[in-house]
Amino acid sequence: MKDYHKLLSDEISLDPPDWEEMRTLGHKMIDDMTDHLQNIRQEPSWRKIPGETKESLKMNLPQEPQAITDIYEEFRQRILPYPSGNIHPRFWAWVQGTGTPFGMLAEMLAAGMNPNTALGEHSAMYVERQVLSWCKEMMNYPQSSSGILVSGGSMANITALMVARNHQTGKDVRKEGVRAATGNMTLYCSAETHSCVEKAVEVMGIGSNSLRKIEVDNHYRIRTDELERAIKLDIGAGNTPFCLIGNAGTVNTGAIDPLEELLSISRKYRLWFHIDGAFGALAKMVPEYSDELGPTEEADSVAFDLHKWMYMPFEVGCVLIKDSAAHREAFASEPNYLMNHERGLAAGPDPMGNYGLELSRGFKALKVWMSLKEHGIRKYAAAIRQNIAQAFYLGELIEREARLELLTPVSMNVVCFRYKRNDVSNEGLNKLNKEIVMSLQEDGIASPSSTILDGKYAIRVANTNHRSRKEDFDELVRETVRMGDKLLT
Ligand SMILES: Cc1ncc(COP(=O)(O)O)c(C=O)c1O
């Protein structure tokens, strides 16, 4: 670069040319989004994106500056009206929490501060530590355990499984790879376990053939007799069983594996006991579930998502590991450019990069810190309890309605059901129920998702929604029956 002196005579920055205009627009954005959230019940639960809107979202790479007011107007017209809908009171698809207005504002503050919560002496590092300490308290984990905030359940599970893999081999797997292990490393979970565990096993180089997906009982919980049989078979074959994964709330039906039994099996065979509690682990705070989920406290690690059943804005998940040294050993590294110093900016707590895969990390902790202070943990526990009560209420409505069939008993916050008529074949019912789901969504009435249980297409309601009210479930049942009747005529 020869002419750099010339360039430096006219330096640019990305700050606004007119700060007052930015401030005014920022206030309007907050007003508009607050109105949007306040009035969300009046909106459809989901809206189809018109073809021309989708087309209009395909644009050439902008070359020149555009007015910020015009850009915001485009957002209001082409983007804002077509959300996934999880902020709506009748959204119950997959397992997606609702977010909160204060959480939204916290996200803005975090983006304004814009720290990289990876390392260094700055406030975000201490806020994350505090949040992790609260997470330990929520799960009744000792303060000596370690943890990290991650993007969600998938990352939380893979983080824990990597620690398990490295720790359990007793070898330097980081250097030598899984070939250092004696025999084929095997791990165990129920057939209902979330697909992210399989992905984790693939990414870790263990190979999904070594993940033993154990049969479930008629309540979709792992069969412990089959589990022990599989472990013994592996031992007999010279394989190395190293980890058992229990579900605190399966994605399909919300089933909780028999965690107490899994705990003793894990101890008997010296397996790392990990719990995928992406949403269900948080129900531990509900008195009716504290016993069943109690063994979570004894597990070696637990994964759970604060953006699911703590209603935090996307995205924030958490993993806790009892053995903090094993956790650190699995990830720690200190290249020259990341050296910790005694003083100055490069001082500060142990870098978070020593506890996970990511180095660049946003300030997820702020929305958790601010939201927990806003509501207090008791209110969160009450909201979770309310969601479970609503799921049981929905189950009762379904059982009372002759044209609906509950496909598995409600055990927590997930309800799977279908419209049914005895004169229609299973194949016909599968088609009909799929049509009902799509119509409920397209008509903006409600957004359940779907799954297949025992060959039956299920309308699936996963309730992690703090905006839902009893009447929303009445409406879902009424409309499902109306649509089923209409489609059959
Ligand atoms: C039981 C369970 N585990 C793991 C996950 C994956 O979590 P995430 O989507 O946050 O990565 C989910 C997601 O719904 C889940 O329900």
DSSP 353-390: GGGSS-SS---HHHHHHHHHHHH-HHHHHHHHHHHHHH
pLDDT reported for residue 181: 82
Instruction: Looking at the structure, tell me whether residues 152 and 295 fall in a common domain.
Output: yes
**Whether residues 130 and 279 fall in one domain:** yes
Same domain, 225 and 296: yes
Pairing label, strands 456-462, 447-453? antiparallel
- Any domain includes 91: no
The confidence score (pLDDT) of residue 170 equals: 87
pLDDT at 122: 98
Report the nearest atom of ligand 1 relative to the CA of 315. 10
Q: Which domain holds residue 480?
A: 378-488
Q: Check whether residue 316 and residue 433 sit in a common domain.
A: no
Q: Are 409 and 316 part of one and the same domain?
A: no
> From atom 8 of ligand 1, which residue's Cα is the shortest distance away?
153
Residue 90 lies in a domain: no
How far is it, in rounded angstroms, from Cα 12 to Cα 404? Answer: 64
* Same-domain status, 146 and 179: yes
Q: Whose CA is nearest to atom 4 of ligand 1?
A: 153
Point out the domain boundary residue: 353, 375, 397.
Answer: 375
The answer, yes or no, to whether any atom of ligand 1 lies below 6 A from the CB of 278, is: yes
Q: Which of 375, 391, 416 is the last residue of a domain?
A: 375
Inside any domain, residue 78: no
| pLDDT for residue 143 | 98
Q: Are residues 302 and 349 in the same domain?
A: yes
Q: What CATH number has the domain bearing residue 477?
A: 3.90.1150.170
Shortest-distance Cα residue to atom 5 of ligand 1? 153
What's the 153 CA to ligand 1 centre distance in angstroms? Answer: 5
Residue 290 belongs to domain with CATH number: 3.40.640.10
Q: Decide: 466 and 92 in contact? Cβ < 8 Å.
A: no
For residue 393, give the nearest of 441, 385, 48, 252 by alpha carbon: 385
Dist CA 485 CA 473 (whole Å): 18
Ligand 1 atom with minimal separation from the 305 CA:
10
**Which pLDDT tens digits describe the chain residue by residue (489 residues)?**
888 998 899 999 999 999 999 999 999 999 999 999 999 999 999 999 999 999 999 999 999 999 999 999 999 999 999 999 999 999 999 999 999 999 999 999 999 999 999 999 999 999 999 999 999 999 999 999 999 999 999 999 999 999 999 999 988 999 999 888 878 999 999 999 999 999 999 999 999 999 999 999 999 999 999 999 999 999 999 999 999 999 999 999 999 999 999 999 999 999 999 999 999 999 999 999 999 999 999 999 999 999 999 999 999 999 999 999 999 999 999 999 999 999 999 999 999 999 999 999 999 999 999 999 999 999 999 999 999 999 999 999 999 999 999 999 999 999 999 999 999 999 999 999 999 999 999 999 999 999 999 999 999 999 999 999 999 999 999 999 999 999 999
Show which of 375, 407, 432 is a domain's final residue. 375
- pLDDT at site 400: 98
Is omega for the bond preceding 11 within 30 degrees of 0, making it cis?
Answer: no
State if residue 245 touches ligand 1 by the CB under 6 angstroms criterion: no
Ligand 1 pocket check: which of 194, 306, 416 to mutate, most ligand atoms within 8 Å of Cβ? 194
For residue 173, how far is its CA from the centre of ligand 1 (angstroms)?
27
Is the same domain home to 263 and 368? yes
For the entire predicted model, the pTM comes to 0.97
The CA–CA distances, whole Å, from 140 to 18, 295, 395 equal 50, 10, 31
462: its two tokens? 């996963």
**Is 384 part of a structural domain of the chain?**
yes
Can you read off the two tokens belonging to residue 334? Answer: 């200190």
Total structural domains within the chain: 2
Determine whether the shortest distance from the Cβ of 97 to ligand 1 is under 6 A: no
119: number of CA atoms within 13 Å, CB side? 21
Question: Is the same domain home to 369 and 384?
Answer: no
Atom of ligand 1 nearest to the CA of 157: 4
Cα 315 to Cα 304, 348, 363, 367, distances in angstroms: 12, 25, 11, 10
With residue 29 as reference, give the H or E element that holds it.
helix 19-38
Same domain for 346 and 468: no
Whether residue 247 is found in the same domain as residue 385 = no
Considering the domain architecture, whether residues 159 and 135 belong to the same structural domain is answered as yes
